C-alpha cells in the first residue's frame, strides 16, 4: 500500500506558476511530485465540507508569497493498493483503517475536493412553539432537538415563556439546553440526593467544597470558582490547576477528540489568566487484543481509538509547546466502547488577582479562531448516552484543533491581564456559554453578524452554539481595545468586537440587528430547577481478609510486570515532548537506561530553586468492589507519588475527575456518592484540599443489540505539591549497593480489585479492597523530613502489583540487584502482591538507619539491601535477573 | 564588555524560543525574541544583532512540510538580508524547526525528512562534536554533548555526506543510537564558512546541571549543551 499527499488548487495558473508551486511543495531530496491526474487504481480521501483543513490555508499563504494566483485550495491523501487487494477490500480498509467517515469522505479513482464550503443561511431564528404543549410533547421536542433536558426542566422553560407571553426561538432553546446540560451545569453534583442509608448529605459539590473550606489551607487562592483552581505556595507565584475529560468526542473521532480535549483544558488555564506550563493525560482504553467481533456495531476498535487518541494528545501538546509530563494508560473491557480521555493543564502567573469584570460598558471581544459548523451541541452530546448511531449523527459534534492558533493566543494573553477585565474560554456551548457565563448579573448585547466565520451560511443558532476551537472571550474596557488590537496584530491573532456588556441583566443576541435571543441572565443561570435524585448506596465487604494462592511467584511477578496496566508506557511517553520549557526535573521515565517509571514528576524553572510535583491516583478496579475505599486510595496514591519525589505533604492541592455511568440509575449514583465520601475523608485526613474538579457522567453505550456497556467507576485524582528544593528530588533509582531497603506501612490480605486478580481472575469471594491507613499522614510528613535531611537515596511507592513489582521497578531503574531477606507478612503471596495502601520502599544507607528510624517515629521493616549483582533475590525463590525483569516490563503496549 | 545582542526568530508556531533565549542569556548574550512577521517588515533589526538564532517548534504547524512556510516567508521577504548577515561571518544557529528552516532557505546544505520510524520522538541523545568540523559553535568541545531530541522530521538527507565531511561541515553526529535514520549519523551541519550551525537536538534544554536525567547521580555536568552557546556568543562578542 502506498500513500501520497494530494493538494488541490483552484485558479488559472500557467506552466511557470505551476513549476514555482511545485518547487515549494516538493523537495527533490525527499519527495517526488506531479500535477498529472494519476491513472492507476487508487482511493482518494479528503475532508468533508466544513471540516477545517489547515494545510489548505497554508497552501494559500504559500501561493500568495510566491505570487501564484490560487483562488482556493484543499488537501487529501491518495492510497494505492497492490494487485492482491480487490475493490471491495480496498473500500473496507479505507473505511476501517485509513479514513474516518465522521470527518472525511473518499472515492475510488479521484475525489472531487471541496473548495468552497459556503452555503446560504436565512439569518433568522426559528420560532419553536412550546406554550400549551403537554409534557410528552415537550419531551418529543427535546428528543428531536437533542436538548438532553429533564421533564422538570422542559416545564420550567415552558413556564418561563408562558409568563413572558411569547414562544422561544431555536437560539433560546439551544442556549438553555447547553447552559443547563449535565456537562455545563453539573446537575448531578448539584442535585438534592436522597439515599437509602438514611444519612442526610449536602450536594456532592458542597461535600467537596466543605472539606476545602474546613481545611482552610493558606496556599489555596481560589477553589471551585471559574475555569481552574488557583494555588500559591511561595511569594507572588500562583499555579492554575485544571483537569477535564473529552470522552464522547474521543470515542467518535479519537484524534480530534483527544486533540481538542488538550486544547480545551489549556484554554481553561488561559481563561484564568495563567500561562500554561504543562499538560497531563490519563487514558483508558479497551484491551488492544479485543476481537473485532466483540466491538459493537457503530463503535471503533480499541486499537484504533488508542492510536488516534495518543496521536491527538501528542499533536496538540507537542505543537503548542507544552510538556506532556504526567499520566497513565489503563486498559479494561469496560472502556471498549467508552474510552476515557482525561487531560489536565497547569499554568503559572506572578501577582495574579481575580479579575472583577465585566463592567457595564466593557466590550464583548472574541479572540482567536474563526467560527464554523464544528462541534455544535457538544455539551448536550456529552450529556447523552451513546448508541450505535452516535457516530453518524454526532459528526457535527466533532471539533478539529489548531494548536498553532492557540499557541498564538497564549502569546497574546499571557502577561497581558491588564488589558481585560474578565476572561473565559469558549468551550462546551461555544459563545452561548462563554458570553452567557460572563454576562451573569450584568447582561450583554451582541451581534452575531460581527462574529468572524470560516465560511458563510451559518444560521444564528449555529454561530452562537458552535464549539469551533481556539477561541477566547474577553471583556475589554473601550480604552484598552486599541492596545489589545496591537498585541493581536503582532501575533497574527484575529480580534472581533461583537457587542457590549450592558448592566441591565439581560442577555440579548441579535442577527442583523433583530433579536434572536432575549433572556435575563437570572433565568439562564438560576432558572433550572434543582434536580432531585435517589441513590442506592453500595454495601462493600470490609471485614473479609481473604488470601490468594499463587503456584509460581516468579512467573507471577514477570506476568504482572507485563500486565498492560503495569508494563512500561515508554512507547507513549516518547511520543510526547516532555522536555520543552526545560523545567522537567523529574521525568516520567527515570533510571540508568531511562526505562523505569517515576512516581511523580517534578517541574522547576531551570533557574528556580523551588518546583512543583505532580502525582496521579486512579484505580477503577477497586471501585467495582468499594467505591469509597477506591476514592480514598486514589487520593493516597496521588499523595504517595508527590511525597516520594520530595514534595511537602503539607502543601498539596487536589483535583478530582469522575467518569461514571448514568447517575439516574440509583446504584450508579450510590457509587458516586460513596466515592465523593472517600474523597472527602482522604482530603480531610491529609489536609489536602480539592481546588477544582469535573465530572463526566453518562459514560455508557447502548449497542445495536440493546445491551448497555458502562465504564467502571473511574476517578482520577491529580495532586500538585510544593517541592522546596528541586535539586534534591528523589526517584526510584537504586543508587548504592549495600544500602538498606526499608518498607514503610502495613501489608494486609487485601486483594479485591488487585492486579493479581486481574491477572489470575477473581475468586468467588474477593474479600476486601485495601483500607485507608490512619497513620499515613504522619508517615508522609516524617518521610518528607527524612528526605530533607538527606537520608533517602531512592524511594518508590508501592501500588499496582504490590511490593514485588515495586522492588522490580527499583532494580530496573538502578540496574542494581536487591537481596530481600524479610517480608512484611507471613503469607508470601500477600507480602509480594497485596496492594495495601500507604506503603513506600525507601533506600537508606546502613549508617543512617538509626537516624531514619528516629525520624519515622514508627516501626519500619528492613526488607534487605541493594546489591552489586544482577539479580532480585526474594526469600525462598530462585533469583530473578534484572534484565529479565526489564524485558518483562518493557514489552510493547500492543501486547506483542 | 556588554553582552552581545542576539536575535531569536519565532514564526507562528515556534515554541522553543524562550528556551533558546534563556540558553543564549546564560551563555552571556542579550537575546530578543522577534516574530518573523515583524522581522520581515523590519529587516533593519538584523543590523543590530551580532548573533541570529532560529528557534524550534512547529512553525505553521508543519503544514506542507516542516519549516517550509517560514523559510518561504523569510526567503521572499528578507532573503538577501539574511544572506548578508551570514556573509558577514556573524554566528547563526537553527535548532530543530530552525534547522529545517535553514536548509529550506539554502543557508545550510541537505534536507530533513520524516524520521525513519515514522513517528515524533522525544528522548535524550549523546552528540559527538566532530573535531574536523569548521563550525565555530562546536570548536574546542571535546566532551560529548547530552541533550534531548523532540522531532518527527529529523532524518538528515544529503546526496554526498563524504564530501560534506571532507569540507568540515559535519559538526555533530549521534554517538548514541541514530534516532531518526539520518545519513552518516549526522545530527548537525554547518555552512562552508563554519558560522551557521543547524542541528535537530535541543542543547538549549541542557543549560543547567539539574536538567540532566542523571543529575541526581552526579552525572552530566561535563556534557552541558550550554557549551555550544558559549562558543557562539564568544564569536559574536568578537564581531
Interface predicted TM-score (ipTM) of this complex, two decimals: 0.97
A55 contacts on B by Cβ (under 8 Å):
63-64
Residue A82: predicted pLDDT: 83
Neighbours of B236 (CB within 10 A): 25
Residue A392: pLDDT above 50? no
Residue A710: pLDDT above 90? no
Active site residue B121: no
A320 contacts on B by Cβ (under 8 Å):
15
B12 to A735: CB separation less than 8 angstroms, yes or no: no
Alpha carbons A584 and B142: distance in angstroms, whole number: 27
Instruction: Specify the number of domains making up chain B.
Output: 1
A24 to B68: CB separation less than 8 angstroms, yes or no: yes
Residue A224: pLDDT above 60? yes
Give all strands of the β-sheet with A2-10 in edge-to-edge order: A2-10, A72-80, A43-47, A104-108
Q: Does A321 touch chain B (CB under 8 A)?
A: yes
Rounded (5°) CA angle B125-B126-B130: 135
Please provide the average confidence, as pLDDT, over all residues in chain A.
93
pLDDT digits 0-9 by tens, B126-137: 999 999 999 999
Helix axes B226-237, B17-26, angle to 10 degrees: 70
> Rounded mean pLDDT of A340-348?
97
> Rounded mean pLDDT of A511-522?
96
Residue A709: pLDDT above 90? no
> Rounded mean pLDDT of A304-328?
95
Label residue A393 by pLDDT band (50, 70, 90).
very low
Partner-chain residue, chosen from B15, B62, B69, that has the shortest CB–CB distance to A61:
B69
B57 contacts on A by Cβ (under 8 Å):
319, 321
B12 to A492: CB separation less than 8 angstroms, yes or no: yes
Partner-chain residue, chosen from B113, B124, B207, that has the shortest CB–CB distance to A606:
B207
Mutate to test the interface with B, among A77, A279, A321 (most CBs of B within 10 A): A321
Active site residue B44: no
Label residue A92 by pLDDT band (50, 70, 90).
confident
Task: Specify the CATH number for the domain of residue B153.
Answer: 3.40.50.880
Residue A399: predicted pLDDT: 74
Alpha carbons A553 and A98: distance in angstroms, whole number: 43
Q: Does B11 touch chain A (CB under 8 A)?
A: no
Partner-chain residue, chosen from A62, A314, A581, that has the shortest CB–CB distance to B19:
A581
Beta strands in chain B (DSSP E): 5-10, 30-35, 51-54, 92-95, 111-113, 121-129, 145-151, 155-157, 170-174, 186-190, 196-199
Chain B, 74 to 113: residues with Cβ < 8 Å from chain A are 76, 104, 110-111, 113
pLDDT digits 0-9 by tens, A550-570: 999 999 999 999 999 999 999
Residue A50: predicted pLDDT: 75
Mutate to test the interface with B, among A494, A582, A843 (most CBs of B within 10 A): A582
Residue A756: predicted pLDDT: 98
Residue predicted with more confidence, A120 or A812:
A812
Beta strands in B82-169 (DSSP E): 92-95, 111-113, 121-129, 145-151, 155-157
Mark the ranges of chain B whose per-residue pLDDT is less than 70. none
Label residue A378 by pLDDT band (50, 70, 90).
low
> Rounded mean pLDDT of A869-894?
91
Burial of residue A216 (CB within 10 Å: 0-12, 13-18, 19+) is exposed
Residue A758: pLDDT above 90? yes
B122 to A575: CB separation less than 8 angstroms, yes or no: yes
Indicate which residue of B146, B151, B158, B202 is catalytic.
B202
B122 to A729: CB separation less than 8 angstroms, yes or no: no
Note down the domain range covering B120.
5-237
Q: Which domains, ranges and CATH numbers included, belong to chain A?
A: 2-108 (3.30.1280.10), 131-199+356-530 (3.90.650.10)
Residue A383: pLDDT above 90? no
pLDDT digits 0-9 by tens, A403-445: 999 999 999 998 899 999 999 999 888 999 999 999 999 999 9
Nearest to A890 by CA among A480, A442, A570: A570
Q: Does A77 touch chain B (CB under 8 A)?
A: no
Indicate which residue of B96, B135, B147, B190 is catalytic.
B96
> Rounded mean pLDDT of A744-768?
97
Partner-chain residue, chosen from B12, B19, B104, that has the shortest CB–CB distance to A404:
B12
Label residue A121 by pLDDT band (50, 70, 90).
confident
Amino acid at each position: 500500500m502506498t500513500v501520497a499527499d494530494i493538494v488541490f488548487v483552484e485558479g488559472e495558473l500557467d506552466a511557470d506558476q505551476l513549476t514555482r508551486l511545485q518547487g515549494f511543495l516538493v523537495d527533490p531530496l525527499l519527495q517526488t511530485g506531479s500535477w498529472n491526474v494519476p491513472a492507476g487504481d487508487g482511493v482518494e480521501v479528503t475532508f468533508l465540507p466544513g471540516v477545517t483543513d489547515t494545510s489548505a490555508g497554508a497552501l494559500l499563504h504559500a501561493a500568495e508569497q510566491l505570487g501564484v494566483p490560487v483562488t482556493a485550495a484543499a488537501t487529501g491523501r491518495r492510497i494505492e493498493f497492490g494487485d492482491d487487494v480487490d475493490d471491495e477490500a480496498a473500500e473496507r480498509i479505507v473505511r476501517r483503517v485509513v479514513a474516518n467517515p465522521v470527518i472525511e469522505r473518499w472515492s475510488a479513482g479521484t475525489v472531487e475536493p471541496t473548495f468552497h464550503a459556503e452555503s446560504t443561511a436565512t439569518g433568522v431564528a426559528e420560532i419553536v412553539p412550546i406554550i400549551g404543549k403537554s409534557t410528552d410533547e415537550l419531551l418529543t421536542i427535546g428528543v428531536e432537538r437533542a436538548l438532553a433536558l429533564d421533564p422538570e426542566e422542559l416545564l420550567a422553560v415552558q413556564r418561563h415563556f408562558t409568563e413572558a407571553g411569547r414562544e422561544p426561538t431555536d437560539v433560546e432553546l439551544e442556549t438553555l439546553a447547553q447552559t443547563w446540560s449535565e456537562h455545563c451545569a453539573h446537575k448531578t453534583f448539584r442535585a438534592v440526593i436522597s439515599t437509602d442509608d438514611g444519612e442526610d448529605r449536602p450536594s456532592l459539590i458542597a461535600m467537596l467544597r466543605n472539606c476545602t473550606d474546613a481545611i482552610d489551607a493558606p496556599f489555596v487562592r481560589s477553589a471551585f470558582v471559574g475555569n481552574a483552581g488557583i494555588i500559591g505556595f511561595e511569594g507572588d507565584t500562583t499555579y492554575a490547576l485544571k483537569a477535564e475529560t473529552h470522552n464522547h468526542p474521543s470515542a467518535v473521532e479519537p484524534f480530534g477528540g483527544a486533540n481538542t480535549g488538550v486544547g480545551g483544558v489549556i484554554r481553561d488555564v488561559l481563561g484564568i489568566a495563567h500561562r500554561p506550563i504543562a499538560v497531563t493525560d490519563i487514558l483508558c482504553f479497551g484491551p488492544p487484543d479485543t476481537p473485532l467481533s466483540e466491538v459493537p456495531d457503530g463503535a471503533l476498535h480499541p486499537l484504533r481509538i488508542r492510536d488516534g487518541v495518543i496521536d491527538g494528545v501528542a499533536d496538540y501538546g507537542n505543537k503548542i509547546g507544552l510538556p506532556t509530563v504526567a499520566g497513565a494508560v489503563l486498559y479494561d473491557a469496560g472502556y471498549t466502547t467508552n474510552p476515557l480521555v482525561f487531560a489536565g493543564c497547569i499554568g503559572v502567573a506572578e501577582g495574579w488577582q481575580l479579575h472583577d469584570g465585566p463592567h457595564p460598558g466593557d466590550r464583548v471581544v472574541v479572540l482567536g479562531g474563526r467560527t464554523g459548523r464544528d462541534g455544535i451541541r457538544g455539551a448536550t452530546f456529552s450529556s447523552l448516552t451513546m448508541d450505535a448511531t452516535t457516530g453518524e449523527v454526532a459528526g457535527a459534534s466533532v471539533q478539529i484543533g489548531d494548536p498553532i492558533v492557540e499557541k498564538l493566543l497564549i502569546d497574546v494573553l499571557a502577561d497581558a491581564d491588564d488589558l481585560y477585565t474578565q476572561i473565559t474560554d469558549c468551550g462546551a456551548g461555544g459563545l452561548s456559554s462563554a458570553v452567557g457565563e460572563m454576562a451573569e448579573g450584568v447582561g450583554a448585547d451582541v451581534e452575531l453578524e460581527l462574529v468572524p466565520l470560516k465560511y458563510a451560511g451559518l444560521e444564528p443558532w449555529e454561530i452562537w452554539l458552535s464549539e469551533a476551537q481556539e477561541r477566547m472571550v474577553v471583556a475589554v474596557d473601550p480604552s484598552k481595545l486599541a492596545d489589545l488590537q496591537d498585541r493581536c496584530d503582532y501575533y497574527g491573532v484575529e480580534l472581533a468586537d461583537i457587542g457590549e456588556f450592558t448592566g441591565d441583566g439581560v442577555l440579548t443576541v441579535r442577527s442583523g440587528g433583530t433579536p434572536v435571543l432575549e433572556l435575563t441572565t437570572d433565568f439562564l443561570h438560576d432558572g433550572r430547577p434543582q434536580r432531585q435524585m435517589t441513590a442506592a448506596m453500595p454495601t462493600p465487604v470490609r471485614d473479609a481478609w481473604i488470601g490468594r494462592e499463587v503456584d509460581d511467584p516468579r512467573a507471577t511477578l514477570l506476568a504482572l510486570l507485563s500486565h498492560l496496566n503495569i508494563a512500561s508506557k515508554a512507547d507513549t511517553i516518547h511520543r510526547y515532548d516532555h522536555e520543552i520549557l526545560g523545567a522537567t526535573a523529574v521525568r516520567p521515565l527515570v533510571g540508568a537506561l531511562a526505562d523505569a517509571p517515576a512516581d511523580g514528576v517534578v517541574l522547576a524553572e531551570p533557574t528556580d530553586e523551588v518546583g512543583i510535583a505532580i502525582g496521579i491516583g486512579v484505580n477503577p478496579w477497586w471501585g467495582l468492589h468499594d467505591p469509597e475505599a477506591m476514592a480514598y486510595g486514589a487520593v493516597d496514591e496521588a499523595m504517595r507519588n508527590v511525597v516520594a519525589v520530595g514534595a511537602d505533604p503539607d502543601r498539596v492541592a487536589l483535583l478530582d475527575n469522575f467518569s461514571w455511568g448514568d447517575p439516574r440509575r440509583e446504584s450508579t449514583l450510590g457509587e458516586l456518592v460513596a466515592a465523593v465520601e472517600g474523597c472527602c475523608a482522604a482530603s480531610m485526613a491529609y489536609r489536602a484540599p480539592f481546588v477544582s474538579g469535573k465530572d463526566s457522567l453518562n459514560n455508557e453505550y447502548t449497542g445495536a443489540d440493546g445491551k448497555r456497556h458502562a465504564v467502571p467507576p473511574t476517578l482520577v485524582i491529580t495532586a500538585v505539591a510544593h517541592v522546596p528544593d528541586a535539586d534534591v528530588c528523589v526517584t526510584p533509582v537504586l543508587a548504592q549497593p549495600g544500602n538498606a531497603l526499608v518498607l514503610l506501612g502495613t501489608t494486609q490480605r487485601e486483594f479485591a480489585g488487585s492486579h493479581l486478580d486481574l491477572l489470575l481472575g477473581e475468586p468467588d469471594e474477593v474479600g476486601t479492597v485495601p483500607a485507608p491507613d490512619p497513620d499515613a499522614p504522619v508517615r508522609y510528613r516524617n518521610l518528607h523530613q527524612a528526605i530533607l535531611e538527606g537520608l533517602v537515596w531512592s524511594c518508590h511507592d508501592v501500588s499496582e502489583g504490590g511490593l514485588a513489582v515495586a522492588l522490580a521497578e527499583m532494580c530496573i531503574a538502578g540496574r542494581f540487584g536487591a537481596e530481600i531477606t524479610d517480608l512484611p507478612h507471613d503469607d508470601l503471596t500477600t507480602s509480594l502482591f497485596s496492594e495495601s495502601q500507604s506503603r513506600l520502599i525507601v533506600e537508606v544507607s546502613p549508617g543512617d538507619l538509626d537516624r531514619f528510624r528516629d525520624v519515622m517515629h514508627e516501626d519500619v521493616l528492613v526488607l534487605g539491601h541493594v546489591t552489586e549483582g544482577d539479580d532480585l533475590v526474594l526469600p525462598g525463590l530462585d533469583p530473578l535477573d534484572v534484565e529479565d525483569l526489564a524485558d518483562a516490563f518493557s514489552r510493547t503496549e500492543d501486547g506483542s | 564588555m556588554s553582552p552581545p545582542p542576539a536575535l531569536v526568530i519565532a514564526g507562528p508556531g515556534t515554541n522553543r524560543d524562550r528556551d533558546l533565549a534563556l540558553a543564549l542569556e546564560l551563555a552571556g548574550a542579550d537575546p530578543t525574541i522577534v516574530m518573523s512577521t515583524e522581522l520581515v517588515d523590519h529587516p533593519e533589526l538584523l543590523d543590530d544583532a551580532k548573533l541570529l538564532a532560529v528557534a524550534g517548534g512547529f512553525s505553521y504547524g508543519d503544514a506542507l512540510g516542516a519549516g517550509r512556510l517560514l523559510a518561504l516567508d523569510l526567503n521572499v521577504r528578507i532573503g538577501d538580508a539574511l544572506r548578508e548577515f551570514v556573509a558577514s561571518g556573524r554566528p547563526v544557529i537553527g535548532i530543530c524547526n530552525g534547522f529545517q528552516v535553514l536548509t529550506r532557505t539554502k543557508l545550510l546544505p541537505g534536507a530533513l525528512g520524516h524520521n525513519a520510524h515514522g513517528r515524533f520522538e522525544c528522548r535524550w541523545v549523546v552528540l559527538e562534536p566532530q573535531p574536523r568540523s569548521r563550525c565555530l559553535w562546536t570548536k574546542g568541545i571535546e566532551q560529548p554533548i547530552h541533550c534531548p531530541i523532540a522531532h518527527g522530521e529529523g532524518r538528515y538527507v544529503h546526496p554526498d555526506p563524504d564530501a560534506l565531511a571532507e569540507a568540515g561541515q559535519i559538526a555533530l553526529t549521534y554517538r548514541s543510537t541514530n534516532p531518526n535514520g539520518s545519513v552518516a549519523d549526522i545530527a548537525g551541519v554547518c555552512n562552508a564558512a563554519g558560522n551557521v550551525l543547524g542541528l535537530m537536538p535541543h542543547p538549549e534544554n541542557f543549560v543547567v546541571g539539574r536538567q540532566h536525567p542523571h543529575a541526581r547521580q552526579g552525572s552530566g555536568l561535563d556534557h552541558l549543551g550550554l557549551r555550544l552557546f558559549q562558543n557562539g556568543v564568544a564569536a559574536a562578542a568578537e564581531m
